[in-house]
Amino acid sequence: MEKLLNKNSFDSLITGLKKQGYKTIAPKKDNKLVTLEEIQDANEISLDHVITNNSIKEFFFPKTEKILSYTIEKNKVEMEEPEGFAVKSVIFGSRPCDAFSLPVMDKVFNWDCSDKFWVERREAITIVTVACDKCDSYCFCTSVGLAPDAKQGSDVLLTKISNDEYLVETVTEKGENLVKELESVFSDPPSGTPDRQVATVEKKFEIDKVKPWLDDNFQHNVWDEFSYKCIGCGACTFVCPTCHCFDIVDECTMTKGDRVKNWDGCQFTMFTMHTSGHNPRSTQGMRWRQRIMHKFKYYVEKFDSTLCVGCGRCSRVCPADMNISEMLEIIATEENQPVSKE
């Protein structure tokens, strides 16, 4: 189904969503960052940015989340599972790369057991994506098989066709239902072929060349050499829409407590530290290698999909300017392949 959405109708869109019982999450500008967060009013929405600071993942897999609470009494332990975490919402104005991270992560969250926190939220949340009309030098979605107007993962895709107008295309049944629910907000699509304003994202490397190289080069000097500047802060993993490692801790007193799931990241020394004190990934080079290998080799082998959507957030936030696409370029460009010095 195709429709047209005018910027002037944002107001009635947000009010309409509220009336239908949706919570709205949209990009909002605060100081210098644009962040996806809950909004109440259409004029809070900002769509001039390249990409939001936070990724979409925190609405499905929050940075911290209670998964169980318990009380301990004499000869008795009572457990209670949280409820009501999946709230009917619309994420308005996510980017195609972010939206694509969802089907990629569905694979791991539904793998040997299905993660109800993820699954129920996936059902409750509808994704309305706005195709990118601009990009920056960190974007590399086209190199990992996506596009700035890719539809995978979105329920509805909006593409800018003039300064005030967006072409609305429904992608899934869920998206179609949403558009139907709010029919009055949309108008009929323009006749003819509209002029879609979509960014041109430069292709930086051939993704097909990455895995074969990784298969052969678990031991290679480039891992260490590239990561001397890495300070191991893990910011890359936290802003990444597809990094999904977590840690489970109990926050408790003697008699009651909560089991909490928190984001964790492979770039931390402590991530692999054994109780004995031995650390199998003892250097930053090894930890950097793990990040690349997981995204471009292990995940591909296990789930037949690259665990990277080319959003470039990791490179933008990196305090030491480690640049993931640069690393992949090094790997994928044959003449550029580093020679191991023995």
Q: Which residues contact 114 (CB under 8 A, 6 or more apart)?
A: none
Distance separating alpha carbons of residues 250 and 244, to the nearest angstrom? 19
Per-residue interface string for the shown chain with other proteins, residues 191-210, x marking contact by CB under 8 A: --------------------
Pick one of 27, 93, 285, 310: the residue that binds other proteins (CB under 8 A).
285
Residue with tokens 């009494």: 73
* First-residue to last-residue Cα distance in the chain: 60
Instruction: Decide if 45 contacts 27 (C-beta within 8 A).
Output: yes
Q: Which of 43, 110, 187, 262 binds other proteins (CB under 8 A)?
A: 262
310 binds other proteins (CB under 8 A): no
| DSSP notation for 160-217 | E-SSSEEEEEE-SHHHHHHHHHTGGG-BPPPSS--------PPP---GGGHHHHHHH-
Asked if 251 touches other proteins (CB under 8 A), the answer is yes
Residues touching other proteins: how many (CB under 8 A)?
49
Residue nearer to other proteins on the CB measure, 58 or 155: 58
155 closest CA partner among 139, 136, 168: 168
Cα separation values, 16 from 20, 21, 41, 128, 337, Å: 6, 9, 11, 15, 54
Note whether 199 and 135 are within 8 A (CB): yes
- Distance (Å, whole) CA 189 – CA 186: 9
**In the numeric block, which tokens belong to residue 5?**
């959405």
Residue 181 makes contact with other proteins by CB under 8 A = no
| Residue 46 makes contact with other proteins by CB under 8 A | no
Q: How far is the CB of 233 from other proteins (least distance, A)?
A: 4
The reply to whether 66 sits near other proteins by the rule CB under 8 A is yes
Sole binder of other proteins in the list 321, 334, 335, 342 (CB under 8 A): 321
Q: How many residues does the chain have?
A: 342
Q: Identify the residue whose tokens are 């969503």.
A: 17
Q: How many CA atoms lie within 13 A of 93 on its CB side?
A: 28
272 binds other proteins (CB under 8 A): no
- Report the Cα 246 to chain-centroid distance in Å: 15
Q: Is 44 in the site for other proteins (CB under 8 A)?
A: no
Q: Which of 257, 290, 303, 330 touches other proteins (CB under 8 A)?
A: 257
User: Is 184 near other proteins (CB under 8 A)?
Assistant: no
Q: Taking CB under 8 A as the rule, does residue 337 contact other proteins?
A: no
Q: Please report whether residue 265 would count as binding other proteins according to CB under 8 A.
A: yes
> Residue 58 Cβ, how far from other proteins at the closest point, in Å?
8
The residues that bridge with 157 in the sheet, in sequence order, are: 129, 169
- Give whichever of 11 and 258 is closer to other proteins, judged by the CB atom: 258
For Cα atoms 293, 266, 246, give the angle at the middle one, nearest 5 degrees: 115
Binding other proteins (rule: CB under 8 A), the pick from 19, 63, 180, 203 is: 63
Q: Which strand (E) or helix (H) includes residue 118?
A: helix 116-124
Applying CB under 8 A, among 163, 219, 253, 275 the residue interacting with other proteins is 253
Selected range binding other proteins among 92-100, 174-182, 187-195, 317-325, rule: CB under 8 A: 317-325
Does the footprint of other proteins cover residue 245 (CB under 8 A)? no
Told to check if 227 binds other proteins by CB under 8 A, we report yes
Does residue 120 belong to the site contacting other proteins (CB under 8 A)? no
53 binds other proteins (CB under 8 A): yes
Residues in the site for other proteins, rule: CB under 8 A? 31-33, 53-54, 63-64, 66, 69, 137-138, 224, 227-229, 231-235, 237-239, 247, 249, 251-253, 255-258, 260, 262-263, 265, 268, 270, 283-285, 315, 317, 319-323, 326
